[in-house]
């Protein structure tokens, strides 16, 4: 069962009710300048109503302690700019809390190079941060790193993908299995009795991209549960260069004369869309993420559905979760699943990632 996002408490709830930033609430609590009298009265009234009493945060601020939050996430690549969105959310949250002595230590790794993950992970550990935001991609390397983080007593938050049984402070991101089931449901509405489906997993390191496999598992499970027996074929593509991808897809399609739908399990769906459009292949295409190229393909009706799970909000909530934990300003939920949004040609102009 999916868990709901936690109810807001403490400073966050005061800020929500007053429609102001957390920083503004803190300035009122500690009688700092920079807040209008009208806003100050409004916030104080809410504080009185809630019976809120400042706690550990006040003593930490009084000591002017510097709190370092380390971030280890993939860098944006020529194939996808997905990771610019979580980083945007991280930076927005940091702008709200940096006045409390919180600083960021950013580390980026190459999704195509395991060694880059190990290198950045070692650099990060040497800084001895107070908290960690991690997007775990390479399973073995991540597990080794996580064990060192735990041994150091550093609280960590996973975003975008989790690794089972690691018990971080919190996981903030999609329910990968359920999002795969949703993709299957969308496709099922348009299947004929003889139609076949193609699942495309695109990654240079598929053995480490556990999140793609969990989406595929959810996709297949939907059809099993609903006794829909249309053929599903998996195509794993490690060479994601444009020419190689085109060659692989074109070799595959003639062998599958009845392919009606293609499910791309990550944000690289636009690369598949370009090939489908170039060769005038008549298929339903479903993929992930509200990226510029994906939206362009959605608008020209090459991509039919995008499944989006608010990556910017993931980054934002990760910072705020560590903030709440380190400053003891509210409860922390161990799992916060993002909404699974369905984006189409008709509604994308109203959507914000």
Report the largest interatomic distance among the alpha carbons of the chain, rounded to a whole angstrom: 72
Answer yes or no: do 193 and 291 share one domain.
Answer: yes
Tell whether the torsion through CA atoms of 185, 189, 190 and 196 is positive or negative.
positive
Is 252 inside any structural domain? yes
- The predicted model scores a pTM of 0.78
User: How far is 60 from 236, CA to CA, in rounded Å?
Assistant: 50
Angle CA 88–93–95, to nearest 5: 95
Please return the burial class of 191, using the count of CB atoms within 10 Å of its CB with bins 0-12, 13-18 and 19+: middle
Is 59 inside any structural domain? no
Is 94 inside any structural domain? yes
Answer yes or no: do 201 and 250 share one domain.
Answer: yes
Answer yes or no: do 27 and 77 share one domain.
Answer: no
- The H or E element spanning position 74 is strand 67-74
Number of domains in the chain: 3
Residue span of the structural domain in which 18 resides: 10-54
Answer yes or no: do 185 and 82 share one domain.
Answer: no
Those residues with Cβ within 8 angstroms of residue 107's Cβ, 6 or more apart along the chain or in another chain: 70, 71, 72, 73, 120, 121, 123, 124
Answer yes or no: do 155 and 243 share one domain.
Answer: no
Q: Do the bridges between strand 305-308 and strand 341-343 make them parallel or antiparallel, or are there none, so unpaired?
A: antiparallel
Is 349 inside any structural domain? no
Distances (CA, A) of 158 to 133, 161, 278, 331: 6, 7, 38, 17
Are residues 74 and 83 in contact, defined by beta-carbon separation less than 8 angstroms?
yes
Answer yes or no: do 188 and 266 share one domain.
Answer: yes
User: How far is 269 from 237, CA to CA, in rounded Å?
Assistant: 13
Last residue of one domain, picked from the residues 286, 308, 330: 308
Q: Count Cβ neighbours within 10 Å for each residue of 143-155 and write b for 16 or more, e otherwise.
A: eebbeebeeeebb
Q: What pLDDT does 1 receive?
A: 43
Give the residue from 24, 43, 48 showing the smallest Cα distance to 35.
Answer: 24
Q: The tokens of 330 are what? A: 């509210």
User: How far is 136 from 144, CA to CA, in rounded Å?
Assistant: 11
Q: What pLDDT does 228 receive?
A: 95
Those residues with Cβ within 8 angstroms of residue 251's Cβ, 6 or more apart along the chain or in another chain: none
Is 3 inside any structural domain? no
- pLDDT by 10s per residue, the chain, length 353: 444 444 455 788 898 899 998 888 888 886 677 889 999 999 989 888 887 766 555 555 555 578 999 999 999 876 678 999 999 999 999 999 998 889 999 999 998 888 999 999 999 999 999 999 999 988 889 999 999 999 999 999 999 988 888 999 999 999 999 999 999 999 999 999 989 999 999 887 666 667 888 999 999 999 999 999 999 999 998 887 888 888 888 887 765 568 899 999 999 999 999 999 999 888 999 999 999 999 999 999 999 999 999 999 999 999 999 999 998 887 899 999 999 999 999 999 998 77
Answer yes or no: do 27 and 76 share one domain.
Answer: no
Answer yes or no: do 235 and 327 share one domain.
Answer: no
CATH number at 159 reads: 3.40.50.2300
Answer yes or no: do 168 and 288 share one domain.
Answer: no
Q: What pLDDT does 323 receive?
A: 94
Is 285 inside any structural domain? yes
Please give, one letter per residue, the 3-state secondary structure of 114-168: HHHHHHHHHHHHHHCCCEEEECCCCHHHHHHHHHHHHHCCCCEEEECCCCCCCCC
Are residues 261 and 193 in contact, defined by beta-carbon separation less than 8 angstroms?
no
Half-sphere exposure (CA, 13 Å, Cβ side) for 58?
10
Q: The tokens of 105 are what? A: 């230590």
Answer yes or no: do 132 and 205 share one domain.
Answer: no
Is 2 inside any structural domain? no
Answer yes or no: do 89 and 69 share one domain.
Answer: yes
Q: What pLDDT does 254 receive?
A: 65
Those residues with Cβ within 8 angstroms of residue 353's Cβ, 6 or more apart along the chain or in another chain: 85, 289, 290, 308, 310, 311, 312
User: How far is 222 from 336, CA to CA, in rounded Å?
Assistant: 23
Answer yes or no: do 147 and 243 share one domain.
Answer: no
Q: The tokens of 340 are what? A: 């699974």
Last residue of one domain, picked from the residues 34, 54, 74: 54
CATH number at 25 reads: 1.10.260.40
User: How far is 206 from 158, CA to CA, in rounded Å?
Assistant: 20
Distances (CA, A) of 315 to 55, 87, 141, 159, 344: 25, 6, 22, 7, 24
Half-sphere exposure (CA, 13 Å, Cβ side) for 328?
9
Q: Do the bridges between strand 284-288 and strand 102-109 make them parallel or antiparallel, or are there none, so unpaired?
A: unpaired
User: How far is 94 from 308, CA to CA, in rounded Å?
Assistant: 24
Is 195 inside any structural domain? yes
């Amino acid at each position: 069962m999916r868990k709901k996002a936690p109810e807001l408490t403490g400073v966050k709830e005061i800020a929500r009710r007053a429609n102001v930033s957390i920083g503004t609430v803190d300035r009122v609590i500690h009688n700092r300048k920079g807040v209008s009298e009208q806003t100050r009265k409004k916030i104080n009234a809410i504080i009185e109503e809630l019976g809120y009493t400042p706690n550990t945060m006040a003593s930490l601020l009084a000591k002017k302690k510097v709190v370092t939050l380390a971030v280890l996430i993939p860098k944006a690549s020529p194939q996808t700019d997905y990771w610019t969105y979580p980083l945007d959310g991280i930076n927005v949250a940091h702008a709200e809390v940096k006045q409390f002595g919180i600083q960021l230590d950013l580390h980026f790794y190459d999704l195509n190079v395991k060694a880059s993950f190990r290198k950045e992970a070692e650099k990060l550990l040497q800084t001895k941060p107070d908290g960690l935001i991690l997007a775990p991609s390479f399973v073995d390397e991540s597990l080794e790193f996580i064990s060192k983080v735990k041994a150091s007593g550093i609280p960590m938050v996973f975003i975008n993908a989790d690794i089972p049984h690691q018990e971080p402070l919190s996981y903030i991101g999609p329910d990968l299995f359920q999002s795969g089931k949703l993709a299957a449901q969308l496709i099922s509405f348009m299947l004929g009795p003889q139609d076949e489906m193609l699942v495309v997993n695109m990654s240079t390191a598929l053995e480490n991209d556990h999140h793609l496999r969990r989406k595929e598992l959810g996709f297949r499970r939907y059809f099993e549960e609903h006794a829909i027996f249309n053929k599903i074929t998996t195509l794993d593509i490690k060479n994601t260069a444009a020419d190689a991808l085109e060659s692989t897809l074109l070799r595959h399609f003639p062998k599958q004369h009845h392919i009606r739908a293609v499910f791309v399990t990550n944000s690289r769906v636009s690369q598949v869309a370009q090939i489908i459009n170039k060769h005038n292949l008549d298929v339903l295409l479903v993929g992930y993420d509200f990226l510029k190229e994906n939206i362009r393909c959605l608008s020209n009706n090459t991509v039919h559905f995008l499944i989006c799970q608010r990556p910017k909000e993931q980054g934002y909530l990760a910072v705020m979760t560590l903030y709440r934990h380190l400053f003891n300003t509210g409860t922390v939920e161990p799992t916060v699943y993002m909404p699974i949004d369905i984006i189409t040609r008709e509604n994308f102009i109203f959507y914000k990632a």
